[in-house]
Amino acid sequence: MRGRSFSPKDSFVEAYLGPEPCALGPSAAGSSTPYPRVSWQDLSIVNRQSEQTMDYRAPQTDMRFVLHEVLKVADHYQQFGMDDPPGEDLINAVVEEGAKFCEQVLLPLNRSGDEEGCHIEDGVVTTPKGFKDAFDQFVENGWSGLTSPTEFGGQGLPESVGVAIKEMIDSCNLSWGCYPLLSHGASEALKHHGEPWQREAFLRPIVEGRWTGTMCLTEPHSGSDLGLLRTKAEPQADGSYAITGTKIFITGGEQDLSENIVHLVLARISDAPSGTKGISMFVVPKFKVDQQGAMGERNEVSCGSIEHKMGLKASATCVMNFDGAQGWLIGPPNKGLNCMFTMMNTARLAVGIQGLGLIEITYQNALAYAKDRLQMRSLSGPKYPDKPADPIIVHPDIRRMLLTQRAFAEGGRVLSFEAALLVDTSERHADAEVRAEADAQLGILTPIIKALLTEMAVECTYHGVQTLGGHGYIAEWGQEQLARDARITTIYEGTTQIQALDLLGRKVMGGKGQALGTLIEKVTANCSAAEAHEPLKAAAARMQETAADWAALTQEVAKRAMADADEVGAAAVDYLFLSGYILVGDALLRSALVAQQAHIDAKLRDGKQALLNFYVDRILPRVGQHAASIRAGGKSLTALPESMFDAA
């Protein structure tokens, strides 16, 4: 893609996926063997090079296309009443500088951080070598407050600008990116629910990057069912609370990056009702903070241990013990879950973007290998007769895996960036009705983005391993780390199953289908617009049929659920995947439609169209499988007695 001109005679792979491949290792031209001979010494050189960095360049061209052409973010910013709304030049400059930081500072630390991991000694956690220096640069360059309010020291840029930076961070170093991720969520919770003194005392230092934040929900006996939590909060004479309990799986609960750590903790006040109605949220700093914002002595909160994990080894996942620690109530008593959902929804979108970042880098890594690796000949005849074998990118199933990765990267980027724009609209637009509509649409998109893009990150990173073959399985090439890192993203901040129940049960049925109906209408309108363009007509017609069945299927599930509530649980995951595949298809259709404009580069236009055709032919049919599973109902899932699950 980089700098090559497009001509119709180019093959699809050459025109869209990249430049002509070169052989791996020394040239074997003229050799009688059909396979390249690569010495172990040559391979070790490649391996040593891969230790320094993977093949990644920030996809700035596509980011600009999505922001400026598909979403036209600058036009939206004009409606927000901002004093100085950012234009294309400023947005592009931010993305360009962010790319430099991610490529040059974070990417080289990814593998070394994974190999070293975090260390704990006497409750003190140390991050891998280079992580603190990178965090200091991040803060010094103003990235920690990029989208935070200016009144608290931030730069006040929209979330739809910050999302591009986040994607690049997550591509280059997912473990490192977990530290600022939770700080952003804590900032949102404090901004929306904190008292004025709390925002000044806790929010400002987080925005400035001096402090970081965490989210403390899970307990050893209580995961997704927060109604079971036992952490207690006892009122104190000075207006604070003494927090006692244990929280597990706390990302960044202890680390050496920041001066202080602000824990947002769910706990029960002594006389609170049982269940989720009795949960309150508290801000509990590592070092005590008074109402004037002065930092004092060490609080009674400590890290008992760090987890030994499958992936994300450079992200400290901590067991946190609160032993009468001083905390301050945020929001009304017993309304902590409402406050926490502000942080949780921010985090869920952020985790979806983690999936997007992993898809992008695994695509680039697999693509680089596929263009270089020589293996066998094309079934339809040699494509590179001057070489001893063809690069594996000529083989159809290698293309299938690469194009699957590319489709979810580009379609997922449109969805993620659009969700960030909905966040901006829901918070900044002057019209209350527009804000409410944006919030409703965001409610539908959030569980889909979180679940689908993380599940696709698992699929795509495994495609990457498969593309690299044996080299994908060994550490030197970096691909296996991406597969390990991806796995947790489908679990934390609410599993795929939780997201599916949230989508179907709470957002679709709980909202009586109104927000979903609006979304389906938009998809249908996009299909109608695309059908007017001959190159897109067939794909648009297929999408139109799928969207119509989406609406009909939703009504069928709702009717069955009235008779048997288990039908919701039986259908939920299939329904989420079905919805997600349709929305990714819609995103690719919109991209291809926008690319039909006269000023768009012909290579970009033809690439978007070709990717859409691939998706409609090879990925969209998955919708039919999920629809069939939903229509089969849940009886076969619930009919088997529990005792019959036991081994014979």
Catalytic residues: 493
What are the Cα distances from residue 523, in Å, to 355, 517, 597, 619? 23, 10, 20, 17
3-class SS of residue 408: helix
Structure tokens at 210: 């001096």
Q: Are strands 287-289 and 295-298 parallel, antiparallel or unpaired?
A: antiparallel
**What is the helix, strand, coil percentage profile of the chain, to 5?**
60, 10, 30
> Which residues have a Cβ under 8 Å from the Cβ of 474 and sit 6 or more positions away?
480
Q: How far apart are CA 112 and CA 632, in angstroms?
A: 48
Q: Are strands 260-269 and 232-235 parallel, antiparallel or unpaired?
A: parallel
Q: How far apart are CA 234 and CA 156, in angstroms?
A: 37
> Which residues have a Cβ under 8 Å from the Cβ of 526 and sit 6 or more positions away?
540, 543, 586, 589, 590, 593
Q: How far apart are CA 631 and CA 64, in angstroms?
A: 41
379-394 CB burial, b ≥16 within 10 A, e <16: eeeebbeebbbbbbbb
3-class SS of residue 223: coil
216-233 CB burial, b ≥16 within 10 A, e <16: bbbbeebeeebeebebbb
**Do 231 and 245 touch, CB atoms closer than 8 A?**
yes
Q: How far apart are CA 426 and CA 418, in angstroms?
A: 12
**Do 382 and 376 touch, CB atoms closer than 8 A?**
no
What phi, psi does 240 have (nearest 5°)?
Answer: -90, 180
Q: How far apart are CA 573 and CA 567, in angstroms?
A: 11
Q: How far apart are CA 174 and CA 358, in angstroms?
A: 8
